[in-house]
Structure 1
Amino acid sequence: MLEEIAATAAVHDRDGSFPFDSLALLQKAGILSLTVPIALGGGGAGLALAAEAVSRVGAACPATALVLAMQFVRQAAIARSGIWPLDLRQRIGREAVTDGALINALRVEPELGSPTRGGLPATVARLRAGHWSISGHKRYATGAPGLRWMEVLARTEEERPRIGTFLVPADARGVALVETWNHLGLRASGSHDVVLTEVAVPLDHAIGLVPAAEWGRPDPVQSAWTTMLVSAVYTGAARAARDWILRFLHARVPSNLGAPLATLPRVIEAVGAIEAALAANARITEAVTLATDAGFPPTTAESGLLKVTLADNAVLAVERAVALAGNHAHDRAHALERHWRDVQCARVHVPTADAAHLAAGRAALAAVKPQETPK
């Protein structure tokens, strides 16, 4: 299955086409419902197994892996949640099992940017007779062409606005997909814009409405899931780059050397540096996922720092492979060129380095009471 997904990755990247075929293979194998509870027919997987699955798919096609990561994150969050109506939880989980139905959260907006940096969403939910009416504009809706469900972050149109998620069927009247995604990397992820115009949803599709001041409180488990699964996408891409450069170094025999590049000490050392970055990511992922599954997730601030570290290591590993390949790495005929473009997206996921360092710095400083200047 992974070989089939990898075989079509270059075509989807070149065309910017959505990988429906790859997702169909994952559905056939039961992977799209891996984190759906066993009681609903899913795999009931924890974070450790989910991260391994995303990483393996990431080595084949990172764009497909990002869609999969979002599916895992949302299905696991819904299964843990005590605020979702039972019938909706069961329906969403069962549809993932039987149909491979995809779900993702739509939060980013043109005006707001990422809600993690504060501010009220511009997307508004108006209470009508017997339903909510949702209007707004969302960006970077990963998997948009293939979604069945959209968790839309919005504020209510009330004297004291509340913020929460509104479950919107992707095929609802008033939902429009605008094909804006044309990025350097992950070109097949379908992370387009979605415009909602007076979309009617049932009253019970409003999830977790709270006063604006209370929204966005830290959730260590959710932060760990998002951090580790998104990072696994790019660790997978870095592993694919490592595998490519190893084959290249063994096969490349310059005439002036008379031996494969793999025999040069400086090349061997550079490969060792790639291995160091990947080993660090593997051990961090193992430790954090197992701890989270055991009920001991890192703090939200720690997850942010780990995301930065995992992203930096993945980028570094691929850049070292590019340096070893030289001009060959810039040839679109070679997969390494695509791996380099894909891994550049690792650093733009929230939290970015500045936000992660700021949150961790504040937490560290707040933990120590002001005293006299140390002598």
Structure 2
Amino acid sequence: MTRPLDIVILGLTLSSSWGNGHATTFRALIRGLHEEGHRVLFLERDRPWYASERDLPQPDFCEFELYDDMEAMLSRHGGRLRTADAVIVGSYVPEGVQLIDRLSQMTLRHLCFYDIDTPVTLAALDEGHEEYIAARQVPLFDIYFSFSGGEVLDHLELVRRARRAEALYCSVDAGAYPSDPEAAKRWDLGYLGTYSDDRQPTLDALLLEPARQRPDLRFVVAGPQYPDHIDWPSNVERIEHLPPADHAAFYNAQRFTLNVTRAAMRRMGWSPSVRLFEAAACATPIISDPWRGISDLLPPDQAIIIAHGTDDVLRTLDLSEPRRRAIGSAGRTRVLAGHTGRARARELAQALWPGPEAVAATGT
């Protein structure tokens, strides 16, 4: 274990899981850091759409503060930012470009970026869109932590000129996602995710069409922002928003669950979503669209099922109960062995403070 670290994170949100995957990702990571003995201050820009949907207004595993003015926040926390072992800016932070510029002008021990949307970020930069990070800012960071691994890291260093790119996948808070194999199965196949245009064709092929062809089975889609024009089959239940506290029960109530990857993430590969780890932790067998790198995390046909189309899903839904349980159990074993919040916290701490030689070199 590294020495206890003091980390400041400026992220999109920790307090609200509404319509985003950032909150649950940060919660698992920071809880893991807390369990490892590290100190974290999380600074979140107050936004009205999250203010009305806060399901964790006062986290007990870190210091937490909302702010409504960037300059006032930097002034108030200037001392802490300068003495912290690392200051980490997350993707999609409001006024992110201005914030990164201001932090880069301060004397910080480590300035890092945690991109929970790496393929989306890179696609936006390719198109000249710089909503929360500018292309010129990528080389400013001591470490660019990426939601995506594999070849994406090479691209960040060789093309985007990142000084150092490290994979920091999403993770799961294992204690919040127990397996309940005896739970009643309310649905044969379910999906949890906010609507996006690029995911919808895959959702249609891998869930809605199977539902149309198997009216005897039960399906569910949970998540906000789905447009009114979608033609939901009568055997597909809709849940508008599902707070994290209900995720484990949701997964445990499914025979199978679906993972759907955004187009930019499929193209780049090595981009597992937080929902993938949550479902696997519950030992719910996962059916996923294919993307490069998925076999590095969960072996196909052993710990996950890869579906290229509707027929693959229909065949999977007819698997025997022992086979279904074996796939779910293998997925859970893999995730608990290396993809918990505490495991990810150790990876982050090791990247920031590699070992005794670093302490000796600094004299601290």
TM-score (norm 2): 0.27
Structure exhibiting the larger radius of gyration computed from Cα positions? 1
TM-score (norm 1): 0.27
